[in-house]
Amino acid sequence: MNILIADDEPFMLKILKAYFENEAFTTYPAQDGEEALHLFYNHPIHLAVLDWMMPKVNGIQVCKEIKKQSNTKVLLLTAKGDVEDELIALQTGADEYMSKPFDPRILILRVKNLLQMDNQIYIGNLKIDMDGQKIFRNGEDLQATHKEFHLMKHFIENRGRIISRKALLDHVWGFDYFGEERTVDTHVRRLRVKVGNRLIKTHRGMGYSLEETNE
């Protein structure tokens, strides 16, 4: 999940970057509004966290431009705490508004709520709808089968770990399944065709793992 963070205070930018990356977000930091727009136009951004008072182009102007061009979520940060300021921010198109100072943990929770991350997982150009049991690539429904979806779900839940064929059989097909382990290979091969070959890595003699990708 790609997060644009724009703030002209280097220390604040560093803190926010560390918190977001600790939550497995990919961050694109900017120190002014002009740099923020450059990053927005050159990278797939899922949500922008913008400081209101920035040099060159302020956060309100950046928010307006982002909303004019896309459906990207925007959260505005500001030292202003008046109700009128909050009203201006929301009328501009911002999806959320937070006054400084704030607890970065609260910011992370609000960002996750905006992105509905409890129900949707983003990996590169993929979106996995956990409730709907669907996998999308560049917005297109991949028509994943029941087994393909649950294979993908198990890979996500064990991201970065090697999962044996036996473990995949037990989890996806059930402990009472007595078929061959090669069944897993067939389904993983079909899943790869849909989600991209580089996402699921084969570990010879051991099993498979999910690898992050920008594909």
What is the per-residue DSSP string for 96-157? EEEESS--HHHHHHHHHHHTTTTTEEEETTEEEETTTTEEEETTEE----HHHHHHHHHHHH
Query: Which of 98, 114, 130 is the last residue before a domain boundary?
Result: 114
The CATH number of residue 180's host domain is 1.10.10.10
pLDDT digit string (tens) for 97-107? 888 888 888 99
Could you tell me if residue 215 is inside a domain? Answer: no
Does one domain contain both 94 and 132? no
The CATH number of residue 20's host domain is 3.40.50.2300
Closest residue by Cα to residue 78 from 89, 68, 64: 89
The mean pLDDT value for 62-69 works out to 92
pLDDT over threshold 50, residue 6: yes
CB count within 10 Å of CB 73 equals 20
Number of structural domains in the chain:
2
φ, ψ for residue 207, nearest 5 deg: 145, -140
Does one domain contain both 82 and 125? no
pLDDT digit string (tens) for 90-137? 778 888 888 888 888 899 888 888 876 657 777 888 888 888 899 999
Residue 138 in tokens: 């560049």
pTM of this prediction exceeds 0.75: no
Q: Which domain holds residue 142?
A: 120-210
Mean pLDDT of the chain: 87
pLDDT of residue 88: 78
pLDDT over threshold 70, residue 68: yes
Does one domain contain both 76 and 146? no
pLDDT over threshold 50, residue 215: no
Does one domain contain both 107 and 7? yes
Could you tell me if residue 76 is inside a domain? Answer: yes
Does one domain contain both 94 and 197? no
pLDDT digit string (tens) for 168-209? 998 899 877 777 888 999 999 999 999 998 899 999 989 999
Query: Which of 114, 136, 161 is the last residue before a domain boundary?
Result: 114
Could you tell me if residue 139 is inside a domain? Answer: yes
